[in-house]
Homo-oligomer: A and B are copies of this chain.
Amino acid sequence: MTQRLAGDASAYASIPDRLLAVATRLFAEKGYESTSVQEIVAAAGVTKGAMYHYFGAKDDLLYEIYHRLLGLQTRRLREFAGGTGPVEERLRAAAVDVLSTSFRYLDEFTVFFRSMHMLPKERRRAVRAERRRYHEQFRALVEEGQREGVFRADVPADLSVHYFFGAVHQVSTWYRQDGPLDAQQISEYYVDLFLNGLRARPEGPAAAAPGRPAGDDGGAASA
């Protein structure tokens, strides 16, 4: 629960960890491209030589940030999804966890969605694949609930997941520490909105909806 992604930036952490921690902060603050390698190594208290000893290139830092973040998320999700309670409970727990992780690693998420495109093609593909696996893991929960009739099945599970993840991943763009609501509250409100939107309604799905599409296959809309 208290595992860090890149260790802290203190002088006692290992050099790679210090570099990753500092890079994450700087990339989130000023953007990947406007952060020079020189700045990173200066802030980490090491030299350029040291950095290129541990990382082959600047974008390796970026990749490592993504890789660690996705690893953490996938591991956590697996724990929550693998439980034994009712689907809705498990989905709720997983969703809350996704949100609190997003809040705990705000910088990582900021960098993720802002600088993904700076990765070389091959790396980007690897990250996308990891992300898709994560997405599918989460989607499986929704589909389970659909099969059980707990969740509405007239909206493709894939879309519901994109929808929720979209909302979650944008929090890094507007959330401020000193806002009126803390992370915990926001998380629970968000999960509430998500589950409420997903829940099957007694009188049939979604009243007062003029002209909605007919298809209700669970087809993926890419990932």
Q: How many copies does the complex hold?
A: 2
Contact in complex: A222, B170 (CB < 8 Å): no
Contact in complex: B181, A156 (CB < 8 Å): yes
Contact in complex: A162, B174 (CB < 8 Å): yes
Q: Is A54 an interface residue (CB 8 A)?
A: no
Minimum C-beta distance from A200 to chain B (A): 10
* A180 / chain B contacts, CB cutoff of 8 Å: 217, 219-221
In the assembly, what is the distance between CA of A190 and CA of B189, in Å?
18
In the complex, how many residues of chain A place their beta carbon closer than 8 angstroms to a beta carbon of chain B?
65
Contact in complex: A174, B33 (CB < 8 Å): no
Query: Which of A's residues lie within 8 Å of B, judged by CB?
Result: 30-34, 88-89, 92, 113-114, 117-118, 152, 155-156, 159-160, 162-171, 173-176, 178-181, 184-186, 188-190, 192-199, 201-202, 205-206, 208-209, 211-213, 215, 217, 219-223
Cross-chain pairs A/B with CB under 8 angstroms, 13 sampled = A33-B34, A92-B209, A155-B193, A159-B193, A163-B190, A169-B170, A175-B221, A181-B221, A185-B215, A188-B212, A192-B205, A197-B197, A197-B198
